[in-house]
Structure 1
Amino acid sequence: MPPRLNIPPITRILLIVLVFQSLLSGAIRYRQWNGENDVVVPYLALVPQLSLIYPWTFITTTLVENNVFTFAIAGVTIFYGGRYLERAWTSVEFVKFLAVAAVIPNIICFGILVFFFALTGNVEWTLLTINGTIPLQIAFLVAFSQLVPAHTVTLFKGIISLRVPRFPLLHILSVFLLALTPILSAASFFLVLNGFITSWAYLRFYKPAFPDLEATQNATLRGDASETFAFSEFFPDPVKPAISDFSNQIFNILVAFKICTPFSAADLSAPRGESVMQRGTPGSARAEAERRRAIALKALDQRLHAATTVPKPKPPPPVVAGPSVQVQPQPNVPEPTAMLGETSYVPEREDGKDGQ
C-alpha cells in the first residue's frame, strides 16, 4: 500500500478549497470566453469595480488561480509550507496567520487600485483581478525566516548558497518580473509587497509566542523582537544600515499612533537570564532563544573559519626540523676526518720508532 499522506486539517482544507475554486473559476471562464475579452468571475475573485456586492471575495480570492503555472506553485506552497507551519504553531495560530496574511493584503491592494483610478481616471485599474496565493507564498517565506533564520539552502550542487531570509526578497523580484508578462497582473506585485510587510509586522509585534518552558515568564507572550528577525535582515549587507534607519523611522511613527509598542529600557538592560530583547509589556522568550542561537552560530562560524586557516602555517614545522637535521651532520663531518688523521698518524709514528 502507498504511504498515507499526513496532512494537518487546516492545510487539507486549504488544498481542497484551492482545487475546487480554481477548477470552478476555470470552468466558468472557459464557458464564457469568446476569444476577445478576458473573463472575470467577480463572485469568486476580487475585482474592485464588480466585487463590492460580494464581500466574501476578500477571502475567497486568495485561493483562486487562473492558470496551470500559478496553480501548481500554489499547491506546492500550501502542501509543504502549510504542513510545516501548522505543526509548528498549532492549527488555531495557523488560521490566525492565514487570515492576516490573506485578507489584509487584499484590502490594501483594493485600496491601491482605487487610488490609482482616482489619480489617473483610467478605469482599467478597477478592472484588475486581485487573486491568487501570492500573499500566502511570501508570508510563508517570512515565517520560515523567523523560525530558521540561520538555515542555508544550497542549490545546483553548491553553486548557489542562500540563507532563508534572502528568499522573500527574491520572491518579490520574481513576482515583479512576472507582472511584466501576461502570466501575472500589476495587482500581483502590490499583493506580494503588502503580504511581505503585513506578515512580518504580525510576526514581529502581534503573534502570540510560545514561552520557553525552562524560563519563568508569562505565557501570554507576543511578537519576536530578536535581532535575527529585524526588517533589515531581509536585505543584503550593503543596504542594511539604510534600511534599518528607514524602518526605525516608520516604527517611531507607528509608536506615535500607538499601533506598536516600543522597547523599554528595563527590557534592554535586563540580565542575561531574562529576555533581553523583549517588547514593553508582552515580551518574547523566543527572542532570547533566537538571539542566543545566532550568537552561538556566529561563534561556531568563527571557529570553523579559524580551523580552516590553521593548516596554512603548518608547513613551517618541517622547515624548522629540516635545518636541525642538516646542521647535525655538519659538526660531525670534521670529527670523522680528525679521527682518520689520528689513526693515519699513529702508524707513521710507530713506523718511525721501528726505523730508529
Structure 2
Amino acid sequence: MLKLGIIGTNWITQQFIDAANESGEWQLTTVYSRHSETAQAFADKNHAGAIFTDLERFFSQGDFDAVYIASPNSLHFAQAKLAIKHGKHVIVEKPAVANQAEFEQLDECLATHPDVLLFEAARQIHEVNFKRVKDQIDQLEQVQGATLTYMKYSSRFDAVRAGEEPNIFSLKFAGGALQDLGVYLAYDAVGWFGMPDEVAYYPTLLSTKVDGKGLAVLRYPAFTVTLNVGKTSNSFLPSEINGLQDAIVMDNAAELGKVTYHDVDGKAHNIGVQPDANPMLAEARDFAMVINDPAGHQKEYQAWRQLSRNVNKLLFNLRQSGHIYFSDDERDLADK
C-alpha cells in the first residue's frame, strides 16, 4: 500500500482520494493546507493521521511515498520541485507547469533524483475510451481534420462578473480557460495526432486579462484541428474527427462518456466502454502500477512524460500566439 500526501483540499483532491481508495493501492496519511482547521477537517473526513501547515515540514517530516498536488496552477512548479528534492514521487494536477523553462528545470531536478517519478494528472489519457479513439483513428483511411469542444460555465465566473479576481481567472495564478479545460483538448490533439506544425490561439479576454474562452487552430501537414474551449458559457456540441466518408464522434472530448464510429455506410458503432463512475480511477491505478514497478513500466512512464512535455510546449505556444503572459520573465522569453 502506497502512502499518499496531499497539497490542496478542494473537490478535485477529494475526487482523487476517492479514486485512490477505490483502487486499493493508496492510503492517505498526510495533509497539507495553509490553515490548520481546513487540513484537520479534510484529514478527519479521510482518516489521515497527520496534518501540516508548513510546506518544508510537510515534506521533511511527513510519512508518505508520493504527493498529489492540487494547488493553484502557479504554485505547481515550486511545490513539485521541493517534493523531488525530498525524494517524494509527484502527482501534479494539470497543467503541471506554466511554461517550458519550468518543465526543463523539473527534468534537471529529476535527473539528480533518479528514483523519483513525476506524473501529470491528465486523467483521460489513462482511460479506455481515449485509447479506443486512438485505435480507430489509426484505422481511418485518411484523417481530414477534427473539431474538439470543451466548454463549461465556471461558478467562479460569477465573481469575475462582480469585479473580483478568483485564482482560476487570474494571471498571477496562471489561470484562464486554456490552462484549465484547454489542457484536456491539448492532450487529445497531441495524443491522437502528434505535434502540429503551426498553431494560433484567438482568446476572448476578460477584465482580469486571462482568456475566458477561445479558439485554437492547430495546423498539421494534411489537415487542421480546432479546439473550442471556454469557462464562461456551456456548450453541448459533440466533438468530431473526420475521415473520408466516415467519422468518430464523441459526446465530450474531455469526458469521453460515449464514443461512436460512423462508417462509410452511415452506420453507427459504439466503440467505447462505460466510463468509471470516478474519472480519476484509471490514473490512480496507473500511477501506483508504475511506482510499484518502475523498471517494468519504464516504457509507459516515458511515453507519459514525453506527452506531457509536448502538451506543455503546445499550451505555451498557443498562449504566446494569443498574447497571454503570466510573468515578466515569460514575456522576455517570448520576445527573444
Provide TM-score, normalisation by structure 2: 0.24
When normalised by structure 1's length, the TM-score is: 0.23
> Larger RCO: Structure 1 or Structure 2 (Cα < 8 Å, ≥ 6 residues apart)?
2
The structure with the greater share of residues assigned to helix is 1
Higher-Rg member (1/2)? 1
Greater per-residue strand proportion = 2
